[in-house]
Structure 1
Amino acid sequence: MEPNNSFTITILNDRIVIWRSEPGQLHGLQDRCDHRLAPLSLGRCEGERLRCMYHGLLFEPDGRVVEIPV
């Protein structure tokens, strides 16, 4: 399991989650899961992707959800 490499910054009153993928590239999204608005900064980095730990949604760096656990 990979360590959590994400953190939150605030830009113009918007919280942004920043994470570094395995190859070292930086990514950023709004720090909220679309489902229940849980902070994505509490999530887990999985390769290039970021998993929300509230319900397990897996986000691509462009913000698309690519996995929804059942």
Structure 2
Amino acid sequence: MYLTMEEERIYDGEYGWAKQVCMRILAKLGDLFGAEKLIPIDSAHASGVSYKTLGEAPIDFLRALADS
């Protein structure tokens, strides 16, 4: 999947761990679904991140994202 220079810098971690993790997830999903590039969005939702279904793991991950 094509990434702009800015997206590559995010992917490489130049803007911190949280943005890097998110960009790597998006890039992997883009590759899996055959996306050509990312598109601009106004907002996003972390779907499936529920304490009831996944326990502490997603909570710790979200705390780490919020703290970075």
TM-score by length of 1: 0.26
Higher strand share: 1
Structure-2-length-normalised TM-score: 0.27
Which is richer in helix? 2
Please say which structure displays the higher CA radius of gyration.
Answer: 2
Q: Does 1 or 2 have the higher relative contact order (CA < 8 Å, sep 6+)?
A: 2
